[in-house]
Structure 1
Amino acid sequence: MAHYPIDHSDVPIRLFKSGFLEFFTHISPVVVVIIWLPVAVAFMALEVLSGGYAARGVGYLVGGFFVGVFLWTFAEYTLHRFLFHYQPKDPKWERIFFLFHGVHHAQPQCKTRLVMPPVVSIPMAFIMYGIISLIFSILLGLPHWVFPVMSGFIVGYLFYDLTHYATHHFPMRRGIWKYLKRYHMQHHYKTPNARFGVSSPLWDVVFGTKPAD
């Protein structure tokens, strides 16, 4: 992704001439919670209602949930580093990647462009459901893990999106919250090609994209 001059004005950068299309580039974090929290609950509820836990115990429900959260942290890192920060050679593709993520780096404090809009998150959720189903149901032979893992994955995503919003607009002056805010601000203003983790620096440490300072 190219580096853009930072704009701190209160007027959002317009991405489309069409007002209809422009509307879908803005979203409140409240909408994200309204959409995805019920989905996360529904995935877990469907597995509980299937009755599988009666024979297997609740351990796989809890284990699957936390595996899903863990998988999200990896997805968060890889999407941010390799997709959102991808630098295409074709100027036409550069425009598309600017819509994805470049606009956020150009105007990092724009309140309505800090969480993922449904036009992006919903297709991605279907893709991830397919991948998780393939891994757990077909490759590992654990179909009963799919719904708990998806529940945890979505909760991990929610935590990421809300944490991202908070790092830009909440004080976050103590403990881990202060650390995460500083970490993400350094990504924007100091090392845009490093510190790709938002909710966790784990994979930056693993893959060497966490600077020493």
Structure 2
Amino acid sequence: MSSQKIVGDDLYSNMDFTVDLKKPLVFQVGYLGEAYDEWVHKPIVSKESPRFFANRYLESLTRTVWWVIPIVWLPVICYTQMLAVRRGLQWTAVAPTMLFGTFAWSFIEYSMHRFLFHVKTKRYWSNTAHYLLHGCHHKHPMDGYRLVFPPAATAGFCALFWPIVNLLFARNLAPSFFGGGLLGYVLYDLTHYFLHHGVPFNDASRKIKRYHLHHHFKVQTKGFGITSEFWDWVFGTLPPAIR
């Protein structure tokens, strides 16, 4: 399927279909077929929040303000640590177990971003799913309402990982480790929001913001770490020198 170039800022065509950004997007993008990957990685730099669904209820589920994340998940994290103690984990072991979980999250963060969020798709439903999961963020990187994960989506991932953690860890360690991973996720989502909408306040914050924006606007196949560049260094996906 051959493709044409972008026409202006709001239209993209292939032989059979044109995406109109003035209309709900989610059920359009799948029709781009093989042209989808090229289209979604040409960002539109605007704070405007495009419409995803015609249905108002579905549309509301895709929009999340950043402060909802700590409000929803910090109490859950506290509960997991209390549960671990009730199961027999010593208080002195809570902090190191949580830290291990947070470190494990950093690997999950990197792996999901590299191998799931940046998988290439070309069929209707895979394009549609990818757009909902991560493609929309690369197309509209400054959309402040779709930078953090909606709690319902995060709950789905929690439901997937919780039985795995319980299978791999002792009964008293599992809740604390899981809570540490969830804390890593919260730090990741808040950091991600800051990198797009916050004002750097020191050299470290300026460096990590520059690192992430380089991933969006220069080399989208490198720099998959959000909260740290550690795993990019380990697996050789550091971007070229950032100026």
Q: Same fold (TM over 0.5)?
A: yes
Find the residue that maps to 2:210 and give its secondary structure: helix
2:69 matches 1:8: no
Instruction: Provide the residue aligned with 1:125 in structure 2.
Output: 158
Does 2:192 correspond to 1:164?
yes
The separation in 1 between residues aligned to 2:240 and 2:204, in whole angstroms, is 18
Greater shift, 5-14 or 60-69, is seen at 5-14
Q: Distance in 1 between matches of 2:181 and 2:168?
A: 14
For 1:203, the equivalent position in structure 2 comes to 231
Q: Take 1:154 and 1:13, find their aligned partners in 2: how far apart are those partners?
A: 29
Q: Which residue number in structure 1 is paired with residue 174 of structure 2?
A: 146
The answer to whether the 8 Å contact 2:63/2:146 transfers is yes
* Alignment gaps of 5+ in structure 1: 137-141
Q: Is the 8 A contact 1:68 1:152 kept in 2?
A: yes
Question: Which of 64, 68, 71 matches 1:27?
Answer: 64
Instruction: Give the match for residue 98 of structure 2.
Output: 65
Q: What does residue 47 of structure 1 align with?
A: 84
**Paired residues, what number?**
204
Q: Which amino acid aligns with 2:101?
A: G
The secondary structure found in structure 2 opposite 1:26 is coil
Residue of structure 2 equivalent to 1:75: 108
Tell me how far apart the structure 2 counterparts of residues 42 and 73 of structure 1 sit (CA, whole Å).
22
Counterpart AA for 1:31: V
CA distance in 2, matches of 1:212, 1:181: 15
Is the 1:64–1:152 Cα contact (8 Å) retained in structure 2?
Answer: yes
Is this contact kept in 1: 2:53–2:59, CA < 8 A?
yes
Gaps of 5+ in 2: 1-35
Decide which of 76, 97, 100 is 2:130's aligned counterpart: 97
Q: TM-score, with normalisation over the residues of structure 1?
A: 0.90
Aligned partner of residue 149 in structure 2, secondary structure = coil
**Contact 1:77-1:203 within 8 A present in 2 as well:** yes
In the TM superposition, residue 9 of structure 1 has moved relative to its aligned partner by: 3.0
The CA deviation at 1:6 is: 1.8
**Matches of 1:122 and 1:153, distance apart in 2:** 13
Identity of aligned pairs, percent? 34
Residue of structure 2 aligned with 1:190, choices 185, 193, 218:
218
TM-score w.r.t. the length of structure 2 is 0.79
Q: Which has the higher contact order (CA 8 A, sep 6+)?
A: 1
